[in-house]
Structure 1
Amino acid sequence: MRWFDVGLLAGSGLDRGASRLGAWGRGRQVLGDLPLLVTLSATYAVRPSSEQVAVSWLTLGAGLGAHSTWTAVRVDLRVHMELMVAHVRAQVRDEATGRDDSGDTWSGGFLGGLGAAWPHASPAALVVGVDGWTLARRTEILVGDQRFASSPSIGMTFLIGAEFALP
């Protein structure tokens, strides 16, 4: 059995200011008759531009998971762990000098999450979940020579979306 999930996310942004908002997708393939899954995921999120700084995050992941169905209420529960890479891009406008600048970085890490889909065994279902991650390093954002904020090396996102069964 294969599924593809897609939806909206909200979660940890910078160490100060607004949260990140964006979209996510995850594909899952059951391994034979076992309750094990192979997963592939991607997210894209932005922090609303404020204080002359706009930030975006792109993550890609691959890993394994497990699922179990609570048949009494037709809910499929799942857990997953993935190796991930994250791309953080910041664009800065220094009002004092009128100068624009931008920078980006890639970092590797781990992502883990919990999720649920209802109604299970339907062509389409509602999906909710939470993902947490840890990266090899945080990303510092400077305006001029002053530290503005950082994108932390740990964080979490809340997910809501739809699941689609694939043939």
Structure 2
Amino acid sequence: MLALATAILASLNLLSSATPLSTRVDKKCTIPSWTLQSIKTTYSDETYTPGNALLVITKSPTNETESLDCPLMFNSVCRLERTPADPNLQVYLQINMGSASITFNQTWACEAQAGETVGSRFVVGSGEFEVHCPDEVTETMTCTGPLGGTVVVNGAVTTVTPDGEIQEA
């Protein structure tokens, strides 16, 4: 019985001193996240002039901050297929008066083993937040946010298999 207890303790000690897989992956490839610092939307008559959304985001792990200017289709949807600083980052914003949601989708290259690149990986994250809009709705009103400070959106890794299936990595 003493031998079994000693073996279990030795195994636990070995496990506690081992480097967790997530730590090993993080040292090579930190999964991106994004912080929405501010948003300002300006609405319009939407017939002749589209509304506009101005977003300020900070990307991690690089801590690069970028201002994004995006037309609002139908005064409610902003879609950027790439940002000026990152051709691999897509941003989707949907706003409806006092609430909004944002989704980030980034192509992600990460070394799996020394010299081996994992193909077709994406990091996707989305978040919801509140914005402040005037009490009186007008065609030229401006909404700002996010209320309560910044919004952090953590990414989750997905992989596209050779047959086109999307899987969580």
TM-score, normalised on structure 1? 0.42
TM-score, normalised on structure 2? 0.42
Higher relative contact order (CA 8 A, sep 6+): 1
Greater helix proportion: 2
Greater strand proportion: 1
Could you say which structure has the larger radius of gyration? 2
